[in-house]
Structure 1
Amino acid sequence: MIAWTHFDAGNHRIPCPACGRGERDKTLGLTIEADGKGVAHCFRCNFTESYRPERGARQQAPFKPRIKAVATRKHEVLSDYGRDLWSACEPLSGAAVAYLKARRCRIPPADGDLRYHPALQHPSGYTGPALVGLITDAVTRKPMSLHRTWIQADGRKADVDPPRLLLSGHRKAGGVIRLWPDDAVTSAIGLAEGIETALSLAWGIEPTWSCVDAGNLAAFPVLSGIEVLTIAADDDPAGIAAGRECGERWAAAGCEVFLVRQEQADLNDAVQEAA
């Protein structure tokens, strides 16, 4: 509060009671009229206070400007940066193969959409080996985004937070990582959320694709020519619901559907425990 009665009529500069940084930090302008009425305004934080002799001071908190959220338009297809990064990746080898083997995953074919970058920079500044998956539209096959997983050769994720990232500003909905190419898909296919889970399912059925997350799995469209669908659902509410929703849609279209469930968090955890 401002000690209004301590000041004579006129204009004064004093420290602001809201943001003041000391006696010499006089950002508050104070104006007092001859009849004792006054008004104060801070030029830094916009704190204001008015004073009337008959009713005292009335204070207003510092003004906080409203920041209007501006929606950033996402890339509908893979950006030039994304294309350059994908081109810089290599076929699976080295730490990537060691990581997948340590996780008891099946190694996908070289013509699938999973590659390896030996020294990819993480936003935290860390640089190390990473799996890079190309996300393409499940129907049109157009490249949409990239999925990156920083890894260690012993089967653990790299010690960065988070170890998995999508490209920012890119559309993900409706996309898949084609771990096996389209020409390998005939009458059957396997689906899972994560890459490692899909590559665990591949021990029993191939080809398999990763849907990236539960939302994409739930919305995965019925593709013509496929008669048998196998879904490896994660054992959490979102994963169970996604597997059921996807399976029911495909079954309604006349396809034979198998839903794989396990007590562990996902099929890859189950495969590792059984090894």
Structure 2
Amino acid sequence: MDNSASDISRRLAREAEAVCRHYLSNGRKQGHYWTVGDVDNTPGRSLYVRLTGPDSGPGAAGKWSDAATGEHGDLLDLIAANLRIATLADTLDEARRFLSLPRPEAVTPFRSRASRGSPKAARRLWAMGQPIAGTLAERYLAGRGLTRLGNLSCLRYHPSCFYWREDHPRTEPPERWPALLAKVSDADGKLTGLHRTWLDPEKARKAPVDPPRKAMGTLLGNGVRIGETEYVLVAGEGLETMLSLYLALPGLPVVAALSANHLAALQLPDTIQRLYIAADTDPAGLAAADDLGTRAWDAGIEVRRLAPRLGDFNDDLRAYGLVDLRAHLRPQLAPEDVPSSLDAGTG
């Protein structure tokens, strides 16, 4: 019988809800998540554990994150933090006890995967950026139909940002490309990471690298935020999708979670009463919108969907124009939000 750390982690993930009910008994199930205040089992909803999903990779069951502290990991990490266990060997013993597994004669050593970025590195890179007005980044966005964004505080431009290809030898210098930087922050506005889009300086399009976009820092639960969130929030996946909605609905705050998995896990401010979800039309986007909508609804938040006509709202903006996009959005809004959003952009 395989009794290694990776196997035990997978076994715990398959019993994620039972693990949560045992170690985090003061929490509760909200859709596909278990929410609680922290790893110490304090009542609240800052920490959330995914209860369903594949055994590994994006959206895996058992993955958890605490939006207040930035801590995250799998269920082995959660058990260790909850019981203040200092060693992996003792954590595995506790997990085996929970799973009713025998203890092996020898435990396979476990090495945690090194982080590919950190909030500290993101803050350093962000400090090196400059406003996008008059830069290649502004030209790139204009080519996507996104104009008059030069003063947005969540966007910056870096004229020579490192790019590491997946097969690039670490002993050699990285490539350098201009890049659009987008600030990823938590619900309180604290920078937790960055989203980078590398640009071709000659064509003002995405640079000819694969992938042309990467993120760094702590992303889970966070996003690129535009506007002050009080009682209403518009949430979606892609940066350009949400910039399109910011132009179309200038009176409403928006947040780009940057991927379907991160949209599903987006941390919602305690103050909001109505959530608009701008779901991409692919299966992953629709599933993420369902997960987020369920969590919000269970928390007593009114949930409304915003549906594009094409793949996403940036596709709509480029195909039909801003006036038409606003006309398409109007019947999808609550009546009380129409004057503050659509009418704010008609002047």
TM-score, structure 1 normalization = 0.64
Deviates more, 1:143-152 or 1:194-203: 143-152
Q: Which residue number in structure 2 is paired with residue 177 of structure 1?
A: 224
**Equivalence map 1:1-275=2 (5 Å):** 70-74=111-115, 78-79=119-120, 81-93=121-133, 94-105=135-146, 107-108=148-149, 110=151, 112-124=153-165, 125-138=174-187, 141-152=189-200, 156-167=205-216, 170-180=217-227, 184-205=228-249, 206-275=252-321
Equivalent AA in structure 1 for residue 278 of structure 2: A
Q: CA deviation at 1:128?
A: 2.6
Equivalent AA in structure 1 for residue 223 of structure 2: V
Quote the Cα distance in structure 1 between the aligned partners of 2:239 and 2:290: 20
Greater strand proportion? 1
> What residue ranges of structure 1 are gaps of 5+ in the alignment?
1-66
Q: CA deviation at 1:197?
A: 0.6
Q: Secondary structure of 1:151's match? A: strand
Quote the Cα distance in structure 2 between the aligned partners of 1:119 and 1:187: 39
Change over 3 Å in CA distance of 1:225–1:155 after alignment to 2: farther
Change over 3 Å in CA distance of 1:82–1:221 after alignment to 2: closer
Quote the Cα distance in structure 2 between the aligned partners of 1:95 and 1:195: 17
Change over 3 Å in CA distance of 1:257–1:223 after alignment to 2: same
Q: CA deviation at 1:73?
A: 4.8
Change over 3 Å in CA distance of 1:143–1:90 after alignment to 2: same
How many residue pairs get matched?
202
Quote the Cα distance in structure 1 between the aligned partners of 2:238 and 2:110: 32
Quote the Cα distance in structure 2 between the aligned partners of 1:120 and 1:222: 31
Q: Secondary structure of 2:223's match? A: strand
Post-superposition CA distance 1:129-172 (Å, at most 9, x none): 2111222233x5443222110124766311111100123xx432
CA contact (8 A) 1:109 1:179 kept: no
Q: Secondary structure of 1:200's match? A: helix
RMSD: 2.7
CA contact (8 A) 1:176 1:211 kept: yes
Quote the Cα distance in structure 2 between the aligned partners of 1:69 and 1:106: 50
TM-score, structure 2 normalization = 0.52
> What residue ranges of structure 2 are gaps of 5+ in the alignment?
1-107, 166-173, 322-347
Quote the Cα distance in structure 2 between the aligned partners of 1:143 and 1:274: 34
Change over 3 Å in CA distance of 1:145–1:234 after alignment to 2: same
Q: Which residue number in structure 2 is paired with residue 61 of structure 1?
A: none
Q: CA deviation at 1:268?
A: 1.0
CA contact (8 A) 2:220 2:266 kept: no
Q: CA deviation at 1:239?
A: 0.5
